[in-house]
Structure 1
Amino acid sequence: MDGLGGSSTETPVSKKLHEFSRIYQYYLDKTTPHAVPRWVGTAIIALIYGIRVYFVQGFYIITYGLGIYILNLLIGFLTPLIDPELEASDGAVLPTKGSDEFKPFIRRLPEFKFWHTITKAFCIAFVMTFFSVFDVPVFWPILLCYWVVLFVLTMKRQIAHMIKYRYVPFSIGKQKYGGKKSGAAASGSRAD
């Protein structure tokens, strides 16, 4: 309702798009806690894309662009939200000494957005392989070599950044602390 005449200005097409958007968001939200199945699905989509490019023997420029885009996303995924090199120290920085206060690693690009964007990129690239206008003839080994060099140099810089500011962008599961609990369990087992 627009409030003036009481009539809706939405067209049937915009209503359908809005309904599709809500349904898409609903199912997207349901996948949030299921990280492993999400990534397996993305790996399957990537495999299908790779098979398509292999059998068509073309669209290498699309694949190169996809590789550069994924490399860019990977850098965002591995970089902290507050980068000590770029922002002035206003209290919220990564600890650089053992005596510094622990601050959790917060990614510039969260895992879910990283997954979602990569999956969309593979789907878009797959659709692009059905249009011959995107099949630009290139010598693919040159593109592959250039991408590998770019990947190595970028990762070298990112790993040096991780070492300099002492952060690890990966954590697998919740950390378990032994402390007094393991000692009490050991003494309880001796009483039997």
Structure 2
Amino acid sequence: MLGESEADQSLNEPSAISKKLTQIRNIYQTYLDRSVQHVAARWIFLGLLILSYIIKIVLWPGWYIVTYALGIYLLSLFLAFLTPKVDPALQSMDDEDGPSLPTRQSEEFRPFIRRLPEFKFWLSATKAMIISLVAICFKFTDIPVFWPILLVYFCILLFVTLKKQIKHMLKYNYVPMTRGKTVYSGKPDAN
């Protein structure tokens, strides 16, 4: 009986590999948590990753499928970043109570809440750039394709989706960028 309880105890204890993985995850999360307040540094880091990717692609042409997939993914992230969390078009159909964007001048101000917050946008884009940089280091990911068709298709897709997003922003009167906006403080003007 004593031997069985010791065996059960050893099965319930985490292995050395799982302990090490947990330690690595905790260190990773600590650095992520510390990076939240350093917005400019995070975006500069992402810019350097993008620049290194572009330099690699220009100096050693190829990897068009990887670049195309990266472009589509970054475009989808950007659109989610520009889109409100609650779509005003869908909200007008649903009579739900909750935060929404004002559609008329007479409605009260409600803050713009993004579908994809800035930090998650940065984190997802950074992960995608790192995966793409690793992928272009291997010859087997360089699949031969006729790249001008991919480029034309991406440009058309970019134009159509951004045009649709801008029309949506104009129709529902929201601007997702916060730079240059005046913030209502609740105090009357001193004029």
Query: Which TM-score tier does this pair reach, normalised by the shorter chain?
Result: 0.7 to 0.9
Q: Deviations over 1:43-76 (max 9, x none)?
A: 0011111111222211011000000001111111
* Cα 1:127–1:81 shift into 2, 3 Å: same
* Cα 1:176–1:44 shift into 2, 3 Å: same
* Cα 1:108–1:131 shift into 2, 3 Å: same
Relative to the length of structure 1, the TM-score reads 0.86
Please name the residue that 1:59 is paired with.
Answer: 63
- Pair 1:114 & 2:118 matched: no
Please name the residue that 1:190 is paired with.
Answer: none
Following TM superposition, the consecutive aligned residue runs of length 4 or more in structure 1 with deviations greater than 4 angstroms are: 176-183
Distance 1:114 1:158 in 2: 17
- Pair 1:99 & 2:99 matched: no
Distance 1:57 1:5 in 2: 57
Task: Name the count of aligned residue pairs.
Answer: 180
The equivalent position to 1:82 in structure 2, one of 79, 86, 91, is: 86
Distance 1:174 1:12 in 2: 52
| 1:1-192 matched pairs, under 5 angstroms | 5-7=8-10, 8-87=12-91, 88-92=94-98, 93-172=100-179, 175=182, 182-183=190-191
Percent identity over paired residues: 47
Q: Deviations over 1:99-149 (max 9, x none)?
A: 112111100000000000000000000001122221011122221111111
Relative to the length of structure 2, the TM-score reads 0.86
1:159 CA drift (Å): 0.5
1:177 CA drift (Å): 6.0
1:20 CA drift (Å): 0.7
Structure 2 stretches of 5 or more lacking a match? 1-6
